[in-house]
Structure 1
């Protein structure tokens, strides 16, 4: 596949239901052997089985979020002491505190370092510094 935005997440941005700068966004490490993304129908965090979430089932929060020219950016993040299945993708979602209402936003499976097999150490996600940053609307 290729990096993309979930259709329902895209729609929420267009309708003003998502605010990159003020909402809480988190990132999951995902085993695609246990999750097959459907960008048309998958809408909420509850669409991703907990068995596909590696390291933490609740994600790591993004900080220092910015937006320039329609591109979303944030500080690099660290997943601590990760073990489990191979990681082939990252999923960004808005955290509402409830899985059934936390909208899926972005799916990233094409990046330096992916796939990666955890070995119990930290996994550091370094976001692209190019013009598209994490993703661009």
Structure 2
């Protein structure tokens, strides 16, 4: 297990197809997935055996400053009681924002399965995701 950024994040930041402060960014509980930096979309994660067990609402009060991305802590409603969940950070809308696009177009940003409170072992109900208060916060580029 290891945390990691997807190659698609760097590409998306450079070509404008990922916009952390304008697009809708969400986080999902995922189990049964092995991180691959080459995966590009949420459908790649589920196609590789990952099972999504709940997704947050759009992250609120997003801030991009000094190469660091942060937002308010959030919650996810877990739909099943299961073990070994990581957190999948992804852009669920087009770069300009708006409604969610199909899973085949939802761009992957980062995978977290190592750290305080990870992996997550939810029962059914609400899981609180508390982002680090210090760098790298949700993610740091550069």
TM-score range, shorter-chain basis? 0.7 to 0.9
RMSD: 1.7
TM superposition score normalised by structure 2 = 0.83
Q: How far does residue 9 in structure 1 lie from its aligned partner after superposition?
A: 1.7
The structure in which a higher percent of residues are strand is 2
Could you tell me how far apart the structure 2 residues matched to 1:38 and 1:12 are? 17
Cα deviation per residue 1:87-115 (whole Å; 9 max; x = unaligned)?
Answer: 33101111132111111111111221112
Structure 2 counterpart of 1:86, from 83, 88, 107: 83
1:69 paired to 2:66: yes
Report runs of 4+ in structure 1 exceeding 6 Å deviation: none
Partner of 1:26: 26
Q: How far does residue 15 in structure 1 lie from its aligned partner after superposition?
A: 2.0
Could you tell me how far apart the structure 2 residues matched to 1:105 and 1:37 are? 12
Partner of 1:102: 106
Partner of 1:39: 37
| Unmatched tracts of structure 1, length 5 or more | none
Q: Relative to 1, partners in 2 of residues 1:80 and 1:47: Cα closer, same or farther, differing over 3 Å?
A: same
- 8 Å Cα contact 1:87-1:115 kept in structure 2: yes
Aligned length: 131
| Unmatched tracts of structure 2, length 5 or more | 94-100
